[in-house]
Amino acid sequence: MKAVTWHGKRDVRVETVPDPRIVSPTDAVIRVTSTGVCGSDLHLYEVLGPFMTEGDVLGHEPMGVVEEVGAEVTSLKAGDRVVVPFNISCGHCFMCERGLQSQCETTQVTSQGKGAALFGYTVLYGQVPGGQAEYLRVPQAQYGPIKVPDGPPDDRFVYLSDVLPTAWQAVEYAEIPAEGSVVVFGLGPIGQMCARVALHKGAGLVIGIDLVSERLARAEAHGATVIDTRDHDNIGDAVRALTSGRGADSVIDAVGMEAHGAPAARITHNLVAALPKAVGALITEKAGIDRLSVLYAAIDSVRRGGTISLSGVYGGMIDPMPMMELFDKQIRLHMGQANVHRWVDEILPLLSGTDDPLGVDDFATHRLPLQEAPRAYEMFQKKLHGAQKVLLQPAS
């Protein structure tokens, strides 16, 4: 089959790799019909190379049609249309039963001290071949895949794999009071959806912050009040001007480790990427730092007694945190990978009717054949041609 494979910093290729097959009785194999390029994929494209192996198959936002199931998969059959969550979870362990599927004890990558295995995401998370491919082996298929109805186009459901549950959890974790205010830092795919979900769930004021004009315009068109970071020396002051001088009730950081405006950390990332792989991995895992400009701005922008929800991925081990300010302002922090299945029952009804309250039908700005994945990555990473969400579509 054809698949998108990693070969180094900013080097992804579409190559022929072995077809997946049933390995365990709880496996399924699906034919992929749509698969997203995620902001987290750009971390692999840029800074997490020390944890990748040349030829790794990328991608964790797939949906498609079941081709084959293992003997213990009784809830699916060939021909079923499914979305595959990015985290691999069993559904019956201590963590899964508590709605913490991203910490699944059956698939935890204990050798690396990490949570549940993920599709297409480094040795730290199991090095499971990903979904930017024509076919995908799905472990724990007795629980993971989400069946969706035939009929509507893939765009209606594909974001159940990651974007929707990640944004939904970020809003839940933000604990926005009824009619309250929330700031969303970063208006990429997750930030855009966070703003829409927050408004859908009753936020009184949603403030979207970014420095890309197309992203700001898109969020504003969907009801957010926007702040262009290029127009302000101090974002906290700009937020306070909109929130009675206090700051926002809640803040969502949808940016994470690769924030703009942190040149020292960027230089460190680039230096580590140039080191021999084993050395770079050790430094990143034991002494890594993130670009924290957005997190610092979030701490400044939230009101006293407010909540910060982190959905952007961080990976630093020695990040300097302003503990005095966090303590003095009595700020709550809530973070983590999305527990996809925890939120499906709330989200799926919003996708199953004739209306489209979250605007998923036109959420993708670009749809490209799988073969054009290298161009898709470059376009998304460099924010070219208005690329805000890219879907890859393998040939059927």
Instruction: Assign 3-state DSSP to the chain and report helix, strand, coil percentages, each to 5.
Output: 35, 20, 45
List all residues 6 or more positions away from 94 whose beta carbon is below 8 Å from its beta carbon. 105
Amino acid type, 338: A
Give me the architecture of the 164-335 domain, per CATH. 3-Layer(aba) Sandwich (3.40)
**End-to-end Cα distance, the chain:** 12
Domain boundaries of the chain, sorted by first residue = 2-162+339-393, 164-335
Architecture of the domain made up of 2-162+339-393: Alpha-Beta Complex (3.90)
- Phi/psi for 28 (5° steps) reads -140, 160
Give the ranges where the chain is alpha helix by DSSP (H).
39-46, 94-97, 163-174, 189-200, 213-221, 235-242, 263-274, 277-287, 293-301, 323-329, 340-352, 373-381
Q: What is the pLDDT along the chain (396 residues), one digit of tens a residue?
A: 999 999 999 999 999 999 999 999 999 999 999 999 998 899 898 878 888 999 999 999 999 999 999 999 999 999 999 999 999 999 999 999 999 999 999 999 999 999 999 999 999 999 999 999 999 999 999 999 999 999 999 999 999 999 999 999 999 999 999 999 999 999 999 999 999 999 999 999 999 999 999 999 999 999 999 999 999 999 999 999 999 999 999 999 999 766 444 444 444 445 445 555 554 454 445 444 556 889 999 999 999 999 999 998 776 666 788 999 999 999 999 999 999 999 999 999 999 989 999 999 999 999 999 999 999 999 999 989 999 999 999 975
Phi, psi of 164 (to 5 degrees): -65, -55
Q: Kindly report the CA angle at 215 between 206 and 331, in degrees rounded to 5?
A: 40
Give the amino acid at 85: P
